[in-house]
Amino acid sequence: VRQKQPVHWAAYYRTIRRIPPGQVATYGAIAALAGQPRSSRHVAFALKALEYDERGVPWHRVVGAEGSRRARIAIKNPAGGAQQRMLLEGEGVEFDARGRIDLERFGWARARATRR
DNA sequence: TGGATGACGTTCT
DNA sequence: AAGAACGCCATCC
């Protein structure tokens, strides 16, 4: 169990907590909104740490980007992935036959950053 | 201090 | 369309 919580993680957790139920954001989007545009991998690291200490962060609303229009479950642990999908479906997020999410419909950061 | 690491992302095959 | 190759950059050791 990691005891240490690097400073940047707090910003990531703050941003993730702002994602409303029923919507998702990509790692890259979280990093960007937290002020670290190219540190998506650190968001992943911070989330992995939540495995040991949830702290009320809706980790399941953070998904891996697959292009700019779709996202997929990025978690490596199969059980965790299933858990994430279950939680998201419980909030109304839909997955296609390949287990991907349409960011046009459920992408939080995209919905507020893209205007057209 | 240097090199390895990673729940990622983009680009090139 | 699927997979490999890089790029990224705070942490770890």
Task: With beta carbons less than 8 A apart as the criterion, state whether A61 and A88 touch.
Answer: yes
Q: Tell me which range, A7-16, A26-35, A48-57, is most confidently predicted by mean pLDDT.
A: A26-35
| Distance separating alpha carbons of residues A60 and A30, to the nearest angstrom | 13
A3 pLDDT band, cuts 50/70/90, is very low
Give the residue whose CA sits closest to B6 at C1': A41
Task: With beta carbons less than 8 A apart as the criterion, state whether A94 and A101 touch.
Answer: yes
A6 CA vs B1 C1’ separation (Å): 21
| Distance separating alpha carbons of residues A116 and A16, to the nearest angstrom | 25
Nucleotide nearest to A38 in CA–C1' terms: C8
Residues β-bridged to residue A26:
A63
In degrees and rounded to multiples of 5, residue A22 shows phi and psi of 85, 0
The model carries a pTM of: 0.88
HSE-up (13 A, CA, CB side) for residue A32: 8
